[in-house]
Structure 1
Amino acid sequence: MKNWIWVGVGGGLGALARTALEQVGTSHHLPLNFFLINVLGSFFIGMIMALSAEWGVLANQWRLFWGVGVLGGFTTFSTFMLGVHTLWQDTKGLAVLYLTGTLIAGLAAAFGGLVVIREVARMAASRTQLEETEDEG
């Protein structure tokens, strides 16, 4: 299958998932639904990149499907910016808090996704090594 098909199918699925989570709503004019969507997407992209770039266990078409397609369709930078703009018109301090909070949380989530995959891989390698040692002894 062509790479663009993987991205297109994944993007459609990601957009459907985002639409479902958008229904969560907002709290005190703060678009928490988009905060959650973007932070979750950042966490999962960290996992995708660790599986793909660091461990090489995710084939290129799956990286495109999940990373570019699903997570590209799921996260929503333009809606995030619209939320910042809307908050800015009402409460500038809250807009700055939302903007910086989302960026910091997204970066932390992406790093967290990397760490989770690294730890799972480390545990799997340790377990394999232990099983090999037991088989020899």
Structure 2
Amino acid sequence: MTTTPREPSAGPRSPDTPVPSRAPGQGQAPVVAAVALGGAIGASARYGAGLLWPTPSGSFPWTTLFVNAAGCAVIGVFMVLITEVWTVHRLVRPFFGTGVLGGFTTFSTYAVDIQQLVQHGHARTALAYLATTLLAALCAVWLAAAATRGLMAGRAR
């Protein structure tokens, strides 16, 4: 990943800023390929975590909760770095953010875990898992982004 520091005056990009036109050969195919490759890597890492720390049937899915919270924390750091600190290649965000981290965080497994817990008579565990994962993911992304901003602000002094 090639990164270059942003100029101090360059802040976050405004959503109103027009997207520059792309040169020929810079269409969606490279973006789709980057997301697919990153997704394969992230999903493989997630699968590996499930193999290393399997969740017994009917028990609280700790592995999925930790994977989702950790992935959200990394998303918080990553988004601050690539939108506020560095200028990166246009495929870094789709590859790492959407692909790797999107494949690693597994909110589809989260939904299946909840469904299976309810179907097997563990509705309270399912409800606790539903709320805990949502809260952990939101807190992780927010705290990681805030900490990264704080560290980067301290570094600029």
| TM-score relative to the length of structure 1 | 0.83
Matched, 1:33 2:63: yes
Q: Which amino acid aligns with 1:15?
A: A
5+ residue gaps, structure 2: 1-25
5+ residue gaps, structure 1: 127-137
Root-mean-square deviation (CA, aligned residues, Å) is: 1.7
Query: Which one of the candidate residues 106, 112, 117 is aligned to 2:137?
Result: 106
Residue correspondence of structure 1 range 116-131 to structure 2 within 5 A:
116-126=147-157
Q: Which amino acid aligns with 1:31?
A: P
> Which residue is equivalent to 1:96?
127
CA shift, 1:58, in A, is 3.7
CA shift, 1:56, in A, is 4.3
Q: Which one is further off, 103-112 or 50-59?
A: 50-59
Q: Which amino acid aligns with 1:16?
A: S
CA shift, 1:48, in A, is 1.7
CA shift, 1:47, in A, is 1.3
- Distance in 1 separating the partners of 2:32 and 2:113: 30
Query: Which one of the candidate residues 86, 95, 98 is aligned to 1:65?
Result: 95
- Distance in 2 separating the partners of 1:18 and 1:77: 11
CA shift, 1:85, in A, is 1.0
Q: Which amino acid aligns with 1:35?
A: L
Matched, 1:9 2:37: yes
Per the alignment, in what secondary structure is the counterpart of residue 91 of structure 2?
helix
| TM-score relative to the length of structure 2 | 0.73
> Which residue is equivalent to 1:47?
77
Per the alignment, in what secondary structure is the counterpart of residue 60 of structure 1?
coil
Percent identical residues: 33
Q: Which runs of 4+ in 1 moved over 6 A?
A: none
